[in-house]
Chains A and B, each alone.
Chain A
Amino acid sequence: MARSSLASGTGKRARSAERPSSGQGRPAAARPDGTRPGHTPPPDWRPRVDPGPLLPDREPYRLLGTPAVADLDPQLLRELYGQLVRGRRYNRQATALTQQGRLAVYPSTTGQEACEVAAALALRPQDWLFPSYRDTLAVVARGVDPAEALTLLRGDWHSGYDPRATKVAPLSTPLATQLPHAVGLAHAARLRGDDTVALALVGDGGTSEGDFHEALNFAAVWKAPVVFLVQNNGFAISVPLDKQTAAPSLAHKAVGYGMPGRLVDGNDAPAVHQVLCEAVEHARAGGGPTLVEALTYRVDAHTNADDATRYRDDAEVEPWRAHDPVALLERELRERGLIDDAGIRAVEAAAEEMAARLREEMNAEPVLDPMELFDHVYAEKTSQLREQAAQLRAELDAEEE
């Protein structure tokens, strides 16, 4: 096949106008650019796309504290703030639930709330969110019930919410494997003529996985309406980014696939929201995928089970605590008189209420039916599963006697 495609190329060598001279001996006179006739460039080559417009900004895109923030809708800023405060509280509550043994594990997004919240708010009702294992908060911000979003992490069924009803894919633990799903779903929606966009989340470590590469490549080739948000939070468990990649930035990886890359301050909620909204609407309009790298920081350990002191100093965390997404937005709102103490108290009270409800729901023991183990393996139980279900039924009956 390779041979035939090369052969078919020989018919249209427009650029090799000069034929190699048949006379040996004297070399032909050089052209003005120093090249000599008979030494031809590769046939038909031209750049496939201009890489210039695809390149990310030199500096992370920001809005807070810049003149551009004045153009933003105050209502949006307040909504983002409310969600950030709620998200921060959610992270704290879920972490507390691990300490009480109510959750098996919780990978917190403390410090990353701006990315989590903006990802959810950038979507319209018909759009789909594809979270990674860390992104429970984005799932909740999208509207999924806070307790249902945690069933996986409490040892209950793997996905506590209905992905079809909520348009939120199940939390994906095998890193980056959810990215091709987002591409396929977005592609399918386009084939059907729907204006659905998929937004997929992945971590900096996940960008080293093959599925990251394959997903971006498929998305670009198919011009699929999908947006990839990389939360560069500095670590993959213990491994820092410089052991993960030699790329100028993760956003630069986009250029190699022929899609735009955007670099944004991941703790500047309005900036992340704006960049994602632009990418989502660009995709919806048929413009194809975008890769967004959000610079943020994992303030907590990898999970409650991790000891971050083994691989990083507190001194490294401090500047990020000062660049906190909740504090940054609060400062902006206060400076511009868009919120006062009473407003902040109201936001915090609403977050408290959410946390109290979550505690209450998580303190109730879930009731699981062991017989359901066999219900969803196939559309219909195989004879083998029917036998095994009967065995378990008998064991359960014996236990009850």
Chain B
Amino acid sequence: MVGGVGRKEDRKTAYDAGMMKIAYYPGCTLKTTARSFEKSVIASYRVLGIEYIELEKWTCCGTYFSLAKDDLVHHIASIRNLIRVKEAGYDRVVAPCSMCYNTLKMANEEVRNDEEKAYRINSFMDEEEDYRGDVEVLHPFDLLREVGMDRVRGAVKKPLEGLKVMPYYGCMLVRPEIAALGKGELPGIMEDLIKALGGVPVYTPYNIECCGSYHVVSNPDFVMARARDIAKKAVMEGAEVIITSCPLCHYNLDRMQLEAKRKWKDFKEIPAIYFSQLMAIAFGLGKKDIALDGNYVDPRPLFEAKGLV
């Protein structure tokens, strides 16, 4: 099996053979409200020669990384999931949801860097093998860097023909530095992806603004105002669609625009989709894999008008 491809040279063989397998941690939302994300990310990465193998057993990641220094019990879920990755014979795991990615990665770094915490977590989970942080937590964007944009370009069947796309990173991919996709505030990976697919990335000061996150539960009006600002700026700068990798950002941007429209009649909506849906479109995949049917702001008219779906 080419599963545990931790060593660079093994990975190269796996890629050359056309199928690099990686352990896949879905998280709760990709199995419920973000089905379109799951379908499109699995399908589009398969085109790139990367097969996502779902862990047989996994739990919620814990949703967020608890910053309280003594709140170790909230890291247990993340660490146990990483132990499951090892048990499945892998040393790398991909977590497409930005929240899961951030939570798993932060917990992993905690165990790597704090011996005492690692000891306490391990002795609490005395039914499991000790874990020392030896699994690598990756985001699908890390895998894009690994395969290289040439490969992405090579897979494009329906170039986006200059489609203007706003890459929306939100918080979880860029903060804090220990979990960030790259150094500095803008990782640039989504921009590179958009270009490789034939689109034009649109820069706005809101690309890494917080969407309001879970305040949507207790203070939806506040989140609605943020969604409005982000969407407004995207439209002003000429974007036709927003892409994201976070189900919560996606919900806030998509659903709350509907509310914004109700409140401000002249508000102009802009569809928000997952980056993997954009990949699936450009790779010429089928409707089921692209899965554009679950949005509040319907993205289909845009792509149909351009003859892309």
Answer whether A and B are interacting partners: no
